[in-house]
Amino acid sequence: MALYLNNTLIERQTSKRDNTSNQLNYAPFIFHMNTFEKGKLKAIGYIRNKAVMEDVVSTSGKANMIKLTYDKSNKKLRADGADVVFVYATICDSEGNTVTGADDSIQFTVTGSGKIIGQNPINAEAGIATILLQAGNTPKEIVVEAKSTMLISGKIKIPVIK
């Protein structure tokens, strides 16, 4: 694995096995950085010296908007009055980067055959506010909207099957 900060190589290393990671299929890579620097952090994974994956994260700017996603877990939401999914309201900057320091209060609204289980509104933790959405008995799309003062609202349509 190679780690770059703002296109400068920080370190290239192999995974680290220890008592904690011996039972894992894939041991973690642990990089130590002495100071914080804004910018882009890029990790490149290698197998037999051939790059096989790349991931880039960027330092976020000022909180600007809410992006909604939900946990599909490779299953469709069923209209049985009991099926549930997690819905995530991620607070992002204008570039779509998660603002991990954001703790804004997020108010969720649901349109369609579904309801929120638990607290609403809810404060974000590490830039994300999470609710549990329960499907109703009607196989119809559920629309979830998330609002907060000073942020552009987010909206997502969640299909519900019979």
Q: What is the residue extent of each domain of the chain?
A: 2-58, 65-161
Backbone phi, psi, residue 63, to 5°: -55, 135
- 135/114 Cα distance (integer angstroms): 4
CATH superfamily of 65-161: Immunoglobulins (2.60.40.10)
* 159: preceding bond cis by omega (within 30 degrees): no
Q: Can you state the percent helix, strand and coil of the chain, rounding each to 5?
A: 0, 50, 50
Predicted pLDDT at 35: 86
37 CB-contact burial (10 Å; exposed 0-12 / middle 13-18 / buried 19+) = exposed
Q: Which range (18-27, 100-109, 140-149) has the least confidence?
A: 18-27
* pTM of this prediction exceeds 0.85: no
Residue 20 has pLDDT above 90, yes or no: no
Backbone phi, psi, residue 126, to 5°: 55, 35
